[in-house]
Chain A
Amino acid sequence: MPDRRRIDPGSVATHAVLSFGALVMVFPFLWQLLTALKTLAETSQVPPTFLPKDWNWDSFEEVFTALPFREMLTNSLINTIGRTVGQLVFCSLAAYAFARMRFRGRNVLFALFLSVLMVPSSLLVLPQYDIIQSLGLLNSAPALFLPGMFSAFGTFMLRQFFLTLPKELEEAARIDGAGSFRIFWSIMLPLIRPALAALAVITAMWSWNDLLWPLIVNTDPERMPISAGLTSLEGQYETNYPVMMAGSLIASLPMLIVYLFLQRHFVQSVALSGSKS
């Protein structure tokens, strides 16, 4: 057993390795911030400077004129809320039925729903685009979040949680005369709050970061979410690194803040899922 009072060389070595790794993970973001604060001239210096000579905050204002940045952030927010709320509502309803109710064709339907998990998203994108187009929704807010509101993964995850709840609760409520929806809404749903939080957090992250679908359905800059919008900044401001870095920082900030506050739910959702989207 290592003596607690003496410094354990093994633990020092462990910390050294882990800290080096942590530095590699976080350093690019620090570099991003430092670059955003430099002048354009300073970014093209060789060798590069570490700290900015003059702390220059202009780039953070410039991104708002270079792109419809405010609109893009709003679009991202709408997309994220739309998908998250949609999944919480639709998936929890279906998950409850699959976990707690008996009906003809339950197993077949459940297998059919799960099969959605196995289909690569690129396989569906072309007809999905056609559907959005025929609904007249191209370059609109609903175009961003409509297909993403329905999730097989969310249904599966919530079902697992509903399965763990004791039967007596439902029985007691039914004897008191509560209907199915009432039991679901005011008794069962509150009991799986941790799972709902985990699903909400991971869905919000995928929605905020999603790129392929928004690139396809919303090509008007004013209607793009920030994930797609930043790529056009790359085209126009090819060499203006301070502005690009400032833009990417602002765009990642909301998710980072959510992450720092809801870390526990993030970790839980990953541990529960292991699977993307």
Chain B
Amino acid sequence: MSVFPATAAAKAAGRSRTSASGTRPGSRNQRSAYWFIAPLGLGFAVFYFWPLLQTLYFSFTEFGAFGGHTFIGTDNYLRVVKDVTVWQALGNTLIYCVIGLMALPIAIVVASLLNRRGLRGVSVYRALYFIPFVTLPVAVGLVWNWLYNGDFGLVNEILSWFGVDRHYWVSDPSTAVYAIGTVMVWSTTGYYLVIFMAGVKGIPQDYYEAAELDGAGPLRRFFTITLPLLSPTIFFASVICMINSLQTFDLIYIMMAEKNPAIGDTQSVVGLFYKWAFVENAQGAAAALAFLLMLVIAALTYLQFRIQKRWVHYA
């Protein structure tokens, strides 16, 4: 127990030898620190730490028709593992994750185009690309459903100019997941663009000038300078992107009507969780499903951190 205060005090003493008694951790200062933390700590305890324990408890219980939880051991976990819809939802979620990652290469290309010397209107482009990210997801879902509409939608109209046949994009099980994934990419590209613009700006211009003198063309410069030096940012963005898309819910909920024939082929894990927990009242199984999702997120994040050593270059 005494390890932390001791090291903290030692560090502090080393750092602030000159400031003497003024900032010494007097007991009054100590006590007031707890008052500063108390409101947030109380909020976390009530709305985060306690619920986490509760969910763990729920996952081993069955929720009765008239309330109350009865302990049923690992039955919920067995149900989750045996349920076909769970595996389907997990598969869909992984597809969203892979499609969602497509926002990264697009954002990288746009960011490096915007980094071109003397280019005008950079902030205007950035603002326009960022707008879909700021917009209400429900509004985004509704307008895209309208664009995808099989009978009167603009997407079919534009594709018909190129001789592509009319298609019911969001109700055909073979295309629905990609149609929704495309909207995900469209709405998040601007967010990653901002992150990559900051990363690209950090690459010294001298590198590009030296490479240009050596006769490297724009493509060569992109692949030998921009990409490797941006790799830490790419790694960070891909971890964030993966974690977010594994928890995807909003767009699918909005774009898929209940009687849509493609619903099973587009349902995400969180979508299934919502259905179990709040429509079918299977709280225990829903809690177990949520833990499965957390496990998947943790495993994939761990995997990313393991693989990063092979492709991320830290300067």
Q: Is A194 an interface residue (CB 8 A)?
A: no
Find out whether the CB atom of A102 lies under 8 angstroms from the CB atom of B29.
yes
Across the interface, do A47 and B253 meet the contact criterion of CB distance under 8 Å?
A: no
Instruction: List CB contacts (< 8 Å) of A202-232 with chain B.
Output: 205, 208-209, 211-212, 215-216, 226-228, 230-231
* Contact yes or no, B198 A271, CB < 8 A: yes
Q: If A18-B113, A21-B129, A230-B142 touch, does A46 touch B152 (CB 8 Å cutoff)?
A: yes
- Give A228 to B138 CA distance when docked, in angstroms: 8
Contact: B254 with A234, CB < 8 Å?
yes
Cβ-based interface call for B81 (8 A): no
Interface membership of B190, Cβ < 8 A: yes
A90 touches B23 (CB 8 A): no
Residues of A within 8 A of B119 (CB): 11, 14-15
When C-beta atoms are compared, the residue in chain A nearest to B128 turns out to be A22
Closest B residue to A154 by CB, please name it. Answer: B40
Q: A22-B128, A150-B48, A170-B23 are in contact. Are A216 and B36 (CB under 8 A)?
A: no
Jot down 23 A-B pairs with beta carbons below 8 A, ordered by A: A4-B118, A46-B152, A48-B157, A93-B40, A94-B37, A94-B40, A102-B9, A107-B8, A119-B52, A123-B291, A131-B47, A147-B47, A150-B40, A167-B19, A184-B36, A209-B136, A211-B138, A215-B253, A231-B138, A245-B146, A267-B126, A274-B240, A275-B240
B277 & A124 in contact (Cβ 8 Å cutoff): no
How far apart sit A266 and B237, CA to CA, in the bound complex (Å)?
A: 17
B5:A104 contact, CB within 8 angstroms: yes
- Cβ A124 vs Cβ B154 within 8 A: no
Cα-based distance from A249 to B146 in the complex (angstroms): 14
Among candidates A120, A122, A150, A263, residue contacting B43 with C-beta atoms closer than 8 Å: A150
Q: Closest approach, in angstroms, between the C-beta of A172 and any C-beta of chain B?
A: 9
Contact of B33 among A101, A171, A208 (CB under 8 A): A101
Evaluate contact between B40 and A271: CB separation under 8 angstroms: no
For B, the interface residue count at a CB cutoff of 8 angstroms equals 96
Tell yes or no: A97 within 8 A of B by CB: yes
Q: 9 tightest A-B contacts by CB?
A: A150-B43, A248-B139, A127-B54, A127-B51, A97-B36, A102-B25, A103-B33, A101-B33, A94-B40
Q: When each residue 180-193 of chain A gets 1 if its CB lies under 8 Å from chain B and 0 otherwise, what string results?
A: 11001000000000
* B247 beta carbon closer than 8 Å to chain A: yes
